[in-house]
Amino acid sequence: MFKSNKYIFFDLFEQQIANVHKGTHLFYEMIGNYQDLEAKVKAIKAVEKEGDEIVRRIMNELNSTFITPLEREDIHQLAHTMDSMIDYIDGVADRMYLYQVRQPDPRVLAQANILVKCSAKLIELIRTLRKLDHQVVAKIAREIKDLEHESDSNYRKMVSDLLNAPDANPIEAIKMKEIYDKLEDCADFAEDVSNLVEGIVLKNA
């Protein structure tokens, strides 16, 4: 059965956010069972590459479609913002392996869990693009914002503990600060996706 380009875009967005959710799960599992890191980092890298492929397909559809269901700029920005989430997760996993982090702070696991929850909510949110229901979008967006605030609070505690530890190793502190920053950036991207979807729904409702 022929499927219009309108549905192709929505299908690809849903594939993309499902891929992000898979990446957050893999990262959470990596932190929760911190061994066999090389294999786990490779698994996250494979998800990141799949994300790049989905973005490429979205861009190809955008370039070959005369009339799009949403504004071209919105499609482009949404695709790349979702992709940034998995890029940053991949970056954090890779750095933890390369920097030879022996055992992450328990709050890293809490941060990873927040990202899993954020990406699950984003799956719900992206599905709303088919119906453009602003009331539903606003509710999910508030929940994502609450999770981002939780992430921010957790991040601040991690950084404070790291930098104020009396026996802190400066080199190790620099490494971990970079990791913490990128984890928080990932939660920020989740909120950015939420804001983009809210704006799209308001423009098209």
pTM: 0.93
Contacts of 184 (CB under 8 A, 6+ apart): 111, 151, 152, 155
How far, CA to CA in Å, does 34 sit from each of 55, 160, 198? 30, 23, 37
| pLDDT tens digit sequence for 106-127 | 999 999 999 999 999 999 999 9
In order of 123, 132, 159, 196, the CA distances from 116 in angstroms are 11, 24, 21, 20
Q: Does residue 48 carry a pLDDT above 70? A: yes
Q: Phi/psi zone of residue 36: left (φ > 0), alpha (ψ -120 to 50 degrees), beta?
A: left
**Alpha carbon 79 to chain centroid, angstroms:** 11
pLDDT of 3 reads 46
Q: How confident is the model at residue 179 (pLDDT cuts 50, 70, 90)?
A: very high
Backbone Cα Rg of the chain: 18
- CA–CA distance, 63 with 59 (Å, rounded to integer): 6
Q: What is the pLDDT of residue 5?
A: 58
Dump pLDDT digits (tens) for 150-165: 999 999 999 999 989 8
- The mean pLDDT value for 86-101 works out to 96
Hey, what amino acid is at 43?
A
For 154, the 3-state DSSP assignment is helix
For CA atoms 37, 19, 84, 122, the dihedral sign is negative
